[in-house]
Structure formats: C-alpha cells, structure tokens
Structure 1
C-alpha cells in the first residue's frame, strides 16, 4: 500500500457516503461470521439424520469452529500488520468461502468439520481482526467511531441471534446444505463491496511473526476447550487436558516475557495486559459471547431434541432474542451519549441475568412455545446494550500501532467465550437431554453473566478523549 493509497483511505472518510460504503462490507463480514456460529444450532437433527451423526458430533463441530477462531485470532491480528489489513481481509473471505462451499457438499461429519470448523474458522480468524483495525483507523472521531462500532457489533449480534431463524428457514424450505451455500454467496458479495476499502496504513512485511508463541497460545486454548468437551465421557481425561492446557498457556506467558527481555517482538506484548480498564473490558466481552452462544446452543438443542421442534419452529422462537438485540443495538449511539460505558455494560448484564431467570421459570412451568419469548427478549436487549461499549472500552485504550494486537486479542477472548458457552452449557445439556439438564445449563450461563457483571462494576466511568483516537488518556463519562 503506497502513501497515496493510504491518503486516499483517509480522504474517503471526508466524502459524503464514503463511510457507509466502507462500513457495509465490514459489518456484513461480522454478520456472516456470527451467523455461522449460531445457525448450525437449528440444524442438529437434519445434519444428524443426513450425515448419520449424533447431537454431540454436531456440538463438537460447532465448538471446534469457535475454538479455531479463538486460537488463531491473535496470530491473525499480527498477520494484518505484515500483509496489510485489506489483503488479510480478502484472504480470510476467500478461505471462508471455500470452507462454506465444501460444507454444502459434505458427504460426512469429517468433511463438514474440515470445511466448517477448520476452513471457516481460519477464514474468520484472518478477516475479523482487519474489520476492527480498519474501523478504528478509518473512523477517527469519537462519535463516528462509536457509530461504526455500533453498526458492526449490531451486525454481529443480529447474525448470532438471527442465525437460528434464517438457518431454520433455509433448512426447512430447502436443506441444511443450502445454508452454507447462502454463506458462500454472502462472502462473494462482501468481496465485491470491499473494492471501496483502502488500507489507511501500509503493510510492514519486515515485522517479525512469533511462530512459537502462536503455537503455544493456540495449543493451550485447544487443550482447555477439549477438556471441557471431555467432561461427560471421562473425568480424569478432562482434568488432564485442562491441566496440560493451563501449563501450555503458562509456557506461552513465560515465552512472551522472555522475548521482550531479549528485545524481540512476541506474539502479544505483555503491555496489553497492564491496562486495567482493557482487562476488565476483555472479561466482559468473554462473558457476553459465552452467554450469547451458550444460550443459543442450549435453547436450540432443547427445543429440537427434547421438545421435538423442527428447524423453522426453533428459529421462529429465537425471533424474540433477535428483536431485542436489534432494538438495543440500534439505540447504542443514543445510549452512549447519555450514559457511561460502565453503566451500559452493567445494565446489559443485569437484563441478561433477569432474562435467564424468566426463561427458566416460564419454560419449566409451561409447554407453550410463547414461554420462551419474554426471557429471550430480555437476554437480547441486554446483549445489544453492552456489546458495543465493551468493544469501545478495549479498542480505544490503545494507540494505532497496537490496534492489530489488541484487535486480535479482543476477538480471541470473545470467540473463546463463545467456545466456552457452547462447550460448557452444551456438555451439561447433551449429557442428559432433559428438562433438569436444561435448567442446570441455563443456571450455569447465569453465573457467567454475574461474573461479567462483577467485572463491569469495576470499570471506571470513562470514555476515550475526544479528537485524540491514538491517545490512551481518558476523561470522565456522562
């Protein structure tokens, strides 16, 4: 990327409609990646029957997809600096599109896992960090950046919440394979729309890439999530995998500190973890996506396997969550002008916890499908309120030259939360597949939401300094 091209990227922000043209492909990319994580939830019976697999087999595919994203998101963030944000974005889209096409023709679970869990996961890890880096660099004014992040997070949240409805419609009217063909078509559209994007900074091919750090971080995360998935089969295997995973992550921490001591550039700078506000924001992000994906998998599986609903019925029931998330996400900009980020995140978690309580109470006492609506609506409203502030808290805490690293870390933490949600709540439910297991799984998700709420209460009432996007200085919020 030349300086002229970079300048053009900045100049684009000044032309009417330029922001919308740049934002459209970025938001749509976040939508389709989030959609991919949740639309599989309503295909459990259809995929199981077609590919002769079990609920646990589909759960493993979903969890591995989320885990591959989490494990590779940090390396993906570093790659953006070496090859350029737009190139990395387009490469991720291409890999994702190949994976979706492979899934559409999958003859068995193994090929489905290759296309969905591996290729779509790798593609997402490559394309998502550039989405957040480009947004931070292209929208430098606080209000416009908040608006842009609001649109992107709304697209992601709606993609995750509407995934069951859209996936259910496609699966019931055509087939589950058509849902992957739909993803491939959307990816093709994003590639076309991406012509309007200009990378504001040139790539730096000389920037080192920490291979050992990437292997250690990815290996540790994989072992921990695999340990959670093994909980219903072998307790000792679960404990062993968790212990080894923690040791590998400890080794990763030791490695990056060693690299910094000798003057090398590690996969992650330890300085990223010295910002208290950012650390708390990362905890809230992890809890939010754990709650979102855990609820999606648990409720969808319960509806299909325990209550016997088909894909479209399951998707329609999720409309309440989609509506709630969309309404609160669209109001994010107005809410941010009136309330501090801390207040919004706390309110979101509080709404979500109440929603889970309502969901458990009404569903346990009624066979009606309408019993799901109030709780799902409250959970959707809560998630929509807090998704954007959590991202702003983290991204705005670091200067431009660290946006690649913090973006990768932020998305990794969020996707790790998604993996935990599907693995933990899913494992509890799949082990029994009963009303009792459903209640226990949802109660576990409520505990995770309370952890997020506790972290949010410790956030200072702050927003980034207006007009200085590269500054880590902060001012009091409203």
Structure 2
C-alpha cells in the first residue's frame, strides 16, 4: 500500500474531518441519556418512548455497519463518508424540530443511525490505506480513538450542559452545524483508490438483508436483557397486546439471540456459497481465516464491552447512590477522558517502541487495575479523590488498547479487503458496547444488596471479562507475523 494520490501532508490533513466525524458519532450514542425526561415532556411522549428511540438508533447503526462498509466499495470511500454525513445531518435537523415521537424516531433513530453506518467504516479504511506503516497508522488511529473516547465519555457532560443552559434541541442543532463543518473540511480528503466508472462491484442484496437482520436480532436480544433479565422474564413479554412469554418464563433475550444466530449462520453459508460460485459476496468469509484478526476482534469486543459497561456502572452509582446529576457525573468521569486522550496522543511513540500486541496486553492490565482500584477506593460515603486513580488508569488502558486493536485488525489485511474488515470490526465493537451496558444494567438490577453492593458486583464481573480479554491478547501472533500477513499479496479464495 502506498500514497497513490497526494503527499503525506495531504493525507495528514484529512485526519481532522475523520476524527470529528468519529467524535460526533460517539457523542450521539451517549448524550441522549441525560435529556430523556426533557425531550419526553417537550414533545408529549413518555420516557419509554424516548428510550425506544435510543434503542432503535443503536439497532439501526449496528445492523447496517457491514452494509455501510460495503457501500464504500460501490460509492467510493470519500463519497460514502460525505453521503453518511449528509444523511446524519438531515436526521439531526429533523430531530431538532420534531414535535412528536414519530419525527424524532425518523430523525434520530433512522437517519442518524443510517448516517453513522455509512460514515464510520470509511474513517478507518481511509486511515489504513493512506498511511503505509503501523507506526504512522498508530498515530492517526490514536487521534480517531481519542475522538471516539472523548465523544463517548464527554457526551453526557456536553449534552447535559446544553440541555440545562439552552435546550435539548440545541444539542441536535449543534450536531448539524458540526456535520456541516466536517463536510466542508472533507474537501481535503484524498481517496487513494476512487471508484472508476464501470468498475463498481455488484451489491449482494440477499447478504445485506441477512446480515442486517441477524445483527438486529442479536443486538435487540442484548438490549432486551435490561427489561426482562437474562434468566426468567421479569415481566410479561407482549407484542401487539398478545403475551408471548409470561412473567417467570424464559427471558425473551434467548429466543431473540437464537434467531439472530441462526440468521447470521445463514448469512455465512450464503456468502461462502456466493464466493464459491464466483460472485461478489457482501463480505468475504476469508476474513475469518486470520488468527491475528480473529483474536484482535475478540479483544475489540471485550474492550468496548468493559469500557461502556464500567462507565455505565460508575454513572448509575454516582446518580443513584451519591445523588449526582448528569453534569456532575460527566465531570467525575473527566480523569478517564484525560487518560484516553493522553494514551491516544502517545500512540505513535508507543508504536515505535513496542509492538501493537504488547500494547493491547498492557492496556488490559491498566484497565483491570483501574477497576480494582475503584473497588478498593471508591466507596459509598467516600471521597471524590477515591475515583481519580482508578478512572485515570482505566482511561490510559482504554486509549492504549483501542488504538492498538484497531491497528492490528485493519493492518492484517491488504487494501482490497479493507471495506470488508472495517465493517466487521465496527460491528463487533458495537456488539461489545451494547452487551456491556446490558450486562452491567442487568447485574445492578438483579443483585439485591443495599448501598454500593450491586455496583461492586457488576464491576467485579467486568474485571473478570477484562482478564479474559487479556488472555486473548496473550495469544495474538507477534508483530513480524502480522506484518507478513499484511504485506503479502492476497491469494484467491479456495474454490
């Protein structure tokens, strides 16, 4: 891979709009939580209605991430990125002027979700193909990862400030203005391999439907756990007034996950059959033949699971036990945000001195150590200072391993497979985020102890999962083997 079009300076100039787009997408996923009541009162709906719009946003984005990634090969990476921004911006404007739940769902849940699925995969593809070596990629993946971490961590704080001082509508207007600025800045983006007329690949419609449906049911099942639990159903599960699963029966989580798994199995069999027949599948099944990528995806999933899960536990603890509001909670998470930014900024320096695999392992160690410190120092009735060491170490760990995992996975494949692996990578990360929040929420609701006991239990479970991620990272192949896999010409799939 080389800088086919433009100089290194031109390549660097395109990182700003990519990082800003990742920031706004991460911000959209977390800022709504602090404005639920305000929005519900203003547009004449219920808190449940707004929570449904948030769930639908997550479902839309996660379900279409692989499809959105494939569109980069059809529309072109830069074009797909800009179209995604336009769709996202239109959704933000509609959400800002909505007077009822219907328009809010169309604007926020559907258009912002579709826009995110179109604009996020090109971010990682463009950085991968624009920079030749792992060290340079680490630097700019660090910028993007820092933007992602900042958007996710600061979303509640920024959203809370805007909602409290102006209006929740101003938050959506601000998103639209930032998107307009990103579109202006994106003029500097140079696609090293633009799609030529007549060279557009075919689109696997069946594969797109199967992948979207499978991911929808998997994420939907995970999200159901917050209401119905993981074991027996906490309440009746009904559709259209008809009770399908009574209270005390099996949780609807498992039927939904089973349906999703069966559809994804069908999807895998479909793309394998289509490739063997000489067609163009939505995603090459050969992606799963790389040990480096497979283990890297496992670490990515666990990273997002533990990050979002732990932030959720801490936020709920501060609000329910300490009585903090959204702004105070966001400020308390500042040490973690600073840790993410510091580690992301040092990504290039780290990559020059250590392998990406080593950095992933160190990141998991920092993350788990930070959570243990929180368990030991952050107690009900304790001091604010008790949160700082743990949150700071968690932030450093997140910033270190998120950047390195993305680098390992994306660099494991040649340029012609970047569309496929980027969509798969983003889908795995989204699944981790959804599972982390759902798992933490269900543990907090299930553990019946006073004070901080439910939160400690949830955090202990997340520590165990983090250690599982560390074990997976220990089996990652060495740097040399990864580089060989990346630089070797791709072989045609077995027929």
The TM-score, its normalising length taken from structure 2, stands at 0.86
- 1:440 is the counterpart of 2:434: no
Q: Higher mean Cα deviation, 316-325 or 43-52? A: 43-52
Would the aligned equivalents of 1:41 and 1:301 in 2 still touch at CA under 8 Å? no
Q: CA–CA distance in 2 between the matches of 1:287 and 1:59?
A: 25
After alignment, is 109-118 or 326-335 more displaced? 109-118
Which residue of 187, 195, 209 maps to 1:215?
A: 209
Q: Is 1:403 equivalent to 2:418 in the alignment?
A: yes
> For each residue in 1:285-317, what CA deviation from the matched residue of structure 2 results, as whole angstroms up to 9, or x when unmatched?
111112222233333334334543222111111
Aligned counterparts of 1:48 and 1:301: Cα–Cα separation in 2? 20
**For residue 412 of structure 1, what is the aligned residue in structure 2?**
427
Q: Secondary structure at the match of 2:252?
A: helix
Which residue number in structure 2 is paired with residue 3 of structure 1?
none
> Which residue in the other structure is 2:162 paired with?
170
2 CA distance for matches of 1:82 and 1:76? Answer: 10
Q: Does the CA-based 8 Å contact 1:34-1:159 persist in structure 2?
A: yes
1:18-57 counterparts in 2 under 5 A? 18-47=10-39, 50=42
Once residues 437 and 276 of structure 2 are traced to their aligned partners in structure 1, the CA distance between those partners, rounded to angstroms, is 38
The answer as to whether partners of 1:41 and 1:296 remain within 8 angstroms in 2 is no
Stretches of structure 2 lacking an aligned partner (at least 5 in a row): 234-249, 491-495
Q: Which one is further off, 217-226 or 300-309?
A: 300-309
Corresponding residue number in structure 1 for 2:178:
186
Alignment of 1:136-151 (within 5 A): 136-151=128-143
The corresponding residue for 1:340 is 355
Distance 1:219 1:468 in 2: 32
Give the Cα separation in 2 of the matches to 1:376 and 1:52.
Answer: 38
- How far the C-alpha of 1:410 sits from its partner, in A, is 1.1
Note if contact 2:96-2:169 (Cα within 8 Å) is conserved in structure 1: yes
| Partners of 1:164 and 1:318 within 8 A in 2 | no
Residues in 2 aligned to 1:109 and 1:305: alpha-carbon distance in whole angstroms = 28
Query: Structure 1 residues 450 and 195 mapped into 2: Cα distance closer, same or farther (>3 Å)?
Result: same
2:253 pairs with 1:238: yes
Deviation digits for residues 382-410 of structure 1 (CA, Å, limit 9, x no counterpart): 10111111011111111111111111111
- Give the whole-Å Cα distance in 2 for the aligned partners of 1:420 and 1:352: 18
Matched, 1:249 2:264: yes
- What do the CA deviations read for 1:419-453 (whole angstroms, capped 9, x no partner)? 22223223444668973432333333323322221
Structure 1: segments with no counterpart, 5+ residues: 1-6, 474-478
Cα deviation, residue 470, structure 1: 4.6
Worse-matched range after superposition: 182-191 or 257-266: 257-266
Deviates more, 1:109-118 or 1:164-173: 109-118
Give the TM-score of the pair, scaled to structure 1. Answer: 0.89
Match of 1:112 among 104, 110, 135: 104
Find the counterpart in structure 1 of residue 60 from structure 2.
68
Q: What is aligned with 1:291?
A: 306
CA distance in 2, matches of 1:296, 1:60: 21
Q: Is the 8 A contact 2:134 2:411 kept in 1?
A: no
- Asked if the contact 1:168/1:314 (under 8 Å) is kept, the reply is no
Partner of 1:82: 74
Residues 55 and 304 of structure 1: CA distance in aligned 2, closer, same or farther (over 3 Å): farther
RMSD value over aligned CA atoms? 2.7
Higher relative contact order (CA 8 A, sep 6+): 1
Distance 1:430 1:216 in 2: 33
Match of 1:456 among 451, 470, 473: 473
CA distance in 2, matches of 1:104, 1:57: 16
3-state SS of paired residue (2:98): coil
Answer whether contact 1:208 1:265 (CA < 8 A) is retained.
Answer: yes
Distance 1:115 1:449, change over 3 A: farther
Q: Find the partner of 2:89 among 87, 97, 112.
A: 97
The answer on whether the counterparts of 2:24 and 2:151 sit within 8 Å (CA) in structure 1 is: yes
2:73–2:200: 8 Å Cα contact kept in structure 1?
no
Distance 2:49 2:474 in 1: 39
Whole-Å separation in 2 of the counterparts to 1:35 and 1:326: 15
Shift of 1:163: 1.9
- Quick one: structure 1 residues 264 and 236, their matched pair in 2 at CA, closer, same or farther if it must change by over 3 Å? same
